[in-house]
Structure 1
Amino acid sequence: MNALGQRLPAYSLFAAVIAAAGLPIYIYAPKYYADTYGVSLTALGALLFALRLFDVVQDPVLGWISERLRGGKAFWVSMGAVLLAVSMWGLFAVDPLFDPIWWFGLTITGLFTAFSFLTINFYAQGVGKASQVHGGHVRLAAWRETGGLLGVCIAAVAPTIMMGSTENPFAVFAGGFVVVVAVATLWMWPEWSGRTETEPTEIREIIADPLARRLLILALFNATPLAVSSTLFLFFVESRLGAVGWEGPLLVLFFLAAAISAPLWSKLAQRYGAKGTLLTAMALAILSFAYALTLSTGDEIQFAVICVLSGATIGADLTLLPAMFARRMSVVSPNGGQGFGLWSLVSKFTLAFAAVILLPILENAGFAAGQTDLPESALTTLTVLYAGVPCILKLVAVAILATTTLEE
């Protein structure tokens, strides 16, 4: 059966919707609220960290709920999509109805609660779906993550493209997002309705499994570099490189390279094995981050090359690691809800680390968003945080993966 008959394009579009509500919002929202409403970076970092602490409880609970929805899953997933759309609209298209920091907190909580719920159910759906797809988990992951990365590309560049052509490009983006959410939800409806559920798995059974536990630890160290670079990307381009106006094109290069590379990494993994392929990608990521440490004002072209190379490595991370984990969940937790509740928690904790640790360090070093006369010490701190910290974390991830035995 071809990809259309297997409904793989529906998975790509739904992945695009979820992804557009994830990483791009971490890139844009803090800077948008800092620039537009004068909210301090430290306050935003503290709030984002508090929300991630909330996720420590919320995501496993959402995973527990996911495994017990049974026949009502299509309806509840649709309600999650409604919450996602309404929260995005409130975050960017509505002037804060009260103090901006608390309005930010309210809307971002709704957005990421919906994001978590949809992500958990969507990835859990793939655990059972992979058995119906030629190529299994890796092929399904290639369709899913390519769609997700294209969604990230569009969400990352759309506001920048609309700058100057509309008074509030983020409001226009939010309106378009609401429409696409509706289309994607309707297209995926038969998948939720037709799913056969097995008996729920307890979270302790997943944590007790040595390989599942090791893959979660690997995901933590491997995803944190992306969280760090995403949180600091706009600041790095604007202040370190002095490349105002390049933010959109560079983001497109980064995520487009990731989207284009995802199916290629999938093919390589099917031929040479997922572990060796991922290790190769991780080594390339370390080299890219190391080179970024040498950049300074005016190095836009060199950074564009780094965006392409590092973006390509993200295509491997986002395709192969979830496929590895999903393959293990098909053995340990066939419903997948509890497992991907933990996976979602790990992924978002990396963003919390970036927000609560890095933003205050940056501010204490004398950095202020939008200023042109920053001290060199602040720019050096920005460079070290943007590129040096990810290098160290990636090296730890390489060590974990190299010593892990995986099923192929």
Structure 2
Amino acid sequence: MTAPAAHATAEHRAASAGAGDASGAARLGLGSLGAYAAFGLPLALLATPVNLFVPALYEQATTLSLALIGVLLFGTRLVDAIVDPLLGAWVDAQKRTGQYWRPILLASLPMTAGFIALLNPPAGMGTVAAAAWLSGSIVLVYIAYSLATVAYQGWGSELATDDAGRTRVTAGREGLGLVGVIVASILFQQAGLPALVGVFVVLMLVGLLLLGRFAPRPLAAGGVPADGRHGWAVPLGSARMRWLLAIFTLNALAPSITATLFQFFVTDRLGLKEHIGTFLALYFLAGAASMPVWVWLAKRFDLQGLWLAGMLASIASFVWAFNLGTGDFTAFAVICLLSGLAFGADLALPPALLARVIDANQHRGEREGVYFGLWNFANKLVFSLAALIALPLLQSLGYSPGSSAAEPLQALAVSYALVPCALKLLAFGLLAAAWRGQKI
């Protein structure tokens, strides 16, 4: 493309974006935004047991060891993560026809079937059969979930063109997602997995109806990239994207470790297994409640500065979990509440920054799929690493579910509380350097 042509294209995109904002502001009322955000409920309802409860479920219901479960989760997550950028390129190619709706609809049935299979391992399986069941069902869930999520996130990134609007969209989506997490946690604790699966199916149908019939469509901008087949590599050519992806990846490793070890920490270190649902509800309810605050702050402060503040708040509120012991219900409840408020920043701000990067790179309306494909690749990779590192390491240090000796429980506390805080501190330093150097 010649320089004058590129300049003309950029001017056209700017004009389209400006026109889109005027109409988009009217379209993004509470009702239309809610119709878009509602699909985050079933997605979160699925992700919660997959991320939090599957290791303990398969350790108890099958002959698989904790270390083997960690290896299998890493392997399946790695396969899923590698596929994400390719799925993103395919999602971008669908803009010729059904925009983001077609991939979401296509993913819904296999995602539901895989979820039901994953949470219902047949009794009496041998180790090989149990490993195959876990691997097969979770890969099906992961890939279908990835396809739906990449398309859903790309859809949202095209609904606004300023930081405040982007934050409002992501906060609405992630806020209702947190409601889904809370519902999943309560159902798991009070009614069991069959009730959780039933509610998921109902919410999936409702979410698809609202998204397909009432959600706002993306603003018109850009077009389908001619080189979509290789488009997954394009975002990595941007220094902005590389900086943001590195910060996001390092920061995401911290909650990935805590999520992997949460059930073990509450059960064995605190002896409060019966309150797992209460702690999760406090944490995610606080995160959901904090969303309007982060949206309000995003209208007044730079997103990178806000994210730095959120990281510091997360460290300051969570590090004290290391000192807790048996029966410390109130102290851990306070930690869940305060760290949940800080967690809202991790949910609302990074995707808004990613949408900013897409706009700055003049890829809006063209390559949202590959950007979010790489984004989800990084997120899943760190969650896989968390399972691969934390579970075998704890087993090598003498910890196994049900341990009561001081040394294994101390190793569990270090892994659950101190290691994530150290990772958050490293991410804080990297983000501070990027902000100071105007890298994003």
How high is the TM-score relative to the length of structure 1? 0.92
Distance, in Å, in 2 between the alignment partners of 1:48 and 1:273 is: 37
Give the SS at the match of 2:273.
coil
Does residue 327 of structure 2 align to residue 298 of structure 1? Answer: yes
Q: What does residue 90 of structure 1 align with?
A: 117
Q: CA deviation at 1:53?
A: 2.1
Q: What does residue 120 of structure 1 align with?
A: 150
Q: CA deviation at 1:273?
A: 2.2
Q: What does residue 385 of structure 2 align with?
A: 353
How many residues get paired? 399
Larger radius of gyration: 2
**Matched-pair contact (CA < 8 Å) for 2:298–2:306:** yes
Q: Map Cα deviations across residues 9-34 of structure 1 (whole Å, 9 max, x no partner).
A: 12221112222222442101111111
Q: What does residue 50 of structure 1 align with?
A: 75
Does residue 200 of structure 2 align to residue 177 of structure 1? Answer: yes
Distance, in Å, in 1 between the alignment partners of 2:245 and 2:306 is: 19
Out of 334, 348, 356, the position equivalent to 1:319 is 348
Q: What does residue 338 of structure 2 align with?
A: 309
Q: Map Cα deviations across residues 192-231 of structure 1 (whole Å, 9 max, x no partner).
A: 8955572236233211111111111111011111111111
Distance, in Å, in 1 between the alignment partners of 2:73 and 2:146 is: 15
Distance, in Å, in 2 between the alignment partners of 1:121 and 1:6 is: 21
Does residue 117 of structure 2 align to residue 77 of structure 1? Answer: no
| Within-5 A mapping of 1:155-174 | 155-162=184-191, 169-174=192-197
Does residue 287 of structure 2 align to residue 258 of structure 1? Answer: yes
Residues 407 and 17 of structure 1: CA distance in aligned 2, closer, same or farther (over 3 Å): farther
Q: What does residue 367 of structure 1 align with?
A: 399
Residues 348 and 23 of structure 1: CA distance in aligned 2, closer, same or farther (over 3 Å): farther
Q: Map Cα deviations across residues 3-58 of structure 1 (whole Å, 9 max, x no partner).
A: 54761112221112222222442101111111122421111100111112213420
Q: CA deviation at 1:101?
A: 2.2
Residues 75 and 276 of structure 1: CA distance in aligned 2, closer, same or farther (over 3 Å): closer
Out of 41, 45, 53, the position equivalent to 1:20 is 45
Does residue 254 of structure 2 align to residue 220 of structure 1? Answer: no
Out of 235, 247, 252, the position equivalent to 2:264 is 235
Q: CA deviation at 1:388?
A: 1.0
Q: What does residue 203 of structure 1 align with?
A: 232
Give the unaligned 5+ runs of structure 2: 1-25
Give the SS at the match of 1:67.
helix
Give the SS at the match of 2:327.
coil
Give the unaligned 5+ runs of structure 1: 163-168
Q: Name the amino acid aligned to 1:215.
A: L
Q: What does residue 110 of structure 1 align with?
A: 140
Distance, in Å, in 1 between the alignment partners of 2:289 and 2:216 is: 31
**Matched-pair contact (CA < 8 Å) for 2:111–2:145:** yes
Distance, in Å, in 2 between the alignment partners of 1:96 and 1:297 is: 33
Distance, in Å, in 1 between the alignment partners of 2:323 and 2:251 is: 22
Q: Name the amino acid aligned to 1:400.
A: L
**Matched-pair contact (CA < 8 Å) for 1:224–1:350:** yes
Q: CA deviation at 1:358?
A: 0.4
Q: Name the amino acid aligned to 2:143.
A: T
Residues 239 and 45 of structure 1: CA distance in aligned 2, closer, same or farther (over 3 Å): same
Q: What does residue 244 of structure 1 align with?
A: 273
Q: Map Cα deviations across residues 335-363 of structure 1 (whole Å, 9 max, x no partner).
A: 30000000001111121011001001111
Identity across the alignment (%): 32
Does residue 175 of structure 2 align to residue 143 of structure 1? Answer: no
**Matched-pair contact (CA < 8 Å) for 2:157–2:166:** yes
Give the SS at the match of 1:271.
coil
Q: Name the amino acid aligned to 2:41.
A: A
**Matched-pair contact (CA < 8 Å) for 2:156–2:169:** yes
Residues 3 and 129 of structure 1: CA distance in aligned 2, closer, same or farther (over 3 Å): closer
Q: CA deviation at 1:94?
A: 5.8
Distance, in Å, in 1 between the alignment partners of 2:357 and 2:247 is: 14
Q: What does residue 165 of structure 1 align with?
A: none
Residues 112 and 96 of structure 1: CA distance in aligned 2, closer, same or farther (over 3 Å): farther
**Matched-pair contact (CA < 8 Å) for 2:121–2:133:** no
Structure 1 stretch 85-94 or stretch 281-290: which is displaced more? 85-94
Q: What does residue 166 of structure 1 align with?
A: none
Q: CA deviation at 1:403?
A: 1.2
Q: Name the amino acid aligned to 1:20.
A: L
Q: CA deviation at 1:176?
A: 1.6
Q: CA deviation at 1:191?
A: 7.2
Does residue 337 of structure 2 align to residue 341 of structure 1? Answer: no
Does residue 59 of structure 2 align to residue 29 of structure 1? Answer: no
Structure 1 stretch 116-125 or stretch 267-276: which is displaced more? 267-276
Give the SS at the match of 1:245.
helix
Q: Name the amino acid aligned to 2:149.
A: T
Give the SS at the match of 2:38.
helix
Give the SS at the match of 2:409.
helix
Distance, in Å, in 2 between the alignment partners of 1:237 and 1:33 is: 18
Does residue 417 of structure 2 align to residue 400 of structure 1? Answer: no
Structure 1 stretch 261-270 or stretch 388-397: which is displaced more? 261-270
